[in-house]
A and B are shown apart, each in its own frame.
Chain A
């Protein structure tokens, strides 16, 4: 009898671990992501009204929206010639990397088996906020929506977009 319960316990433990592991869903947006630079979307997109795609310039052309190159930051924040980087108040932590390389921490990510592409969504006129929430009000970027398949399909349903599984999973 003891052995039976031991076995049962083992099975339960293993399946429990499996459930826990699966419920982690490591590709969901992360809540508490600190960045190496105290960058504020509120200041940039909200106060200064910089269009999203000024920095995330690949969104309409590519799968990924892109993270702005450091050159884009420097373009506004001055340059070495004009007297250094102006309002960036704190240097980024990672100094072991090539000069001026910034290692941002991801907030949004998708698993390999989801082939989301920004290009058709942006070109269909969707606002970035539809999925990313009111980014222009956030100092630190936090996810508003849990981006999962239900979230995608809700919208695809409403708008009559494709519901073919293979379109995202291939």
Chain B
């Protein structure tokens, strides 16, 4: 084991050894279940008894279902808002914290806290905040004289409201960005300072380019989470009113709830395929997440 030399087969043996645990787990917990999901999506199976092949009927049914189409659209909004609002905000905070302002350690810890609290409790808080007689309306009406709204009960504002509450989770992405921002060699900044670059210029020309890889990583993650979003919206609105806040995750869950397993599988396949498309597109636009090209400079 000690002398893993340049011998080709030995290298391959070592590689295989290192990769096999991860691949084995992936096979049993992702690949095999995914194949099972695809298989059941072509059947009419209600969770009981034998599966009967019924071709693409589930796919046709879902595409023709206005609820599912609504969920598809909402999912795109979710993915975009998470990737392009949540992550830039998290990045901004990470860029501030990496310069170690007063109390940055405490802030770093506290920003992450909402990720630890139970979703049930948080959903209860947000429902109360958005209530007609809740604090949000009280503030808006006293400050701006705005009319009191039923934020979660109005199909026009409900989706916005459930997306907005995810701002408390930015700590998750901030942690990733901060960890990699802290790995940026200090010498780069020192050199820039000697050249007389302002803080803003340093951020623009050093931090952001160096963070590119991590930004794409976090954006991909954020969009993936946006795509499979389920729990907090389900607890807050149940996907309503009139399916205004439904997502593919909620749709999938409710189909399982109604014992429509093959339809739920179909929704799952749609979700994964659509997510892959969105993420591939992201990589096409922003380049690969492989930051080695920049590092090589």
Q: Are A and B physically bound partners?
A: no
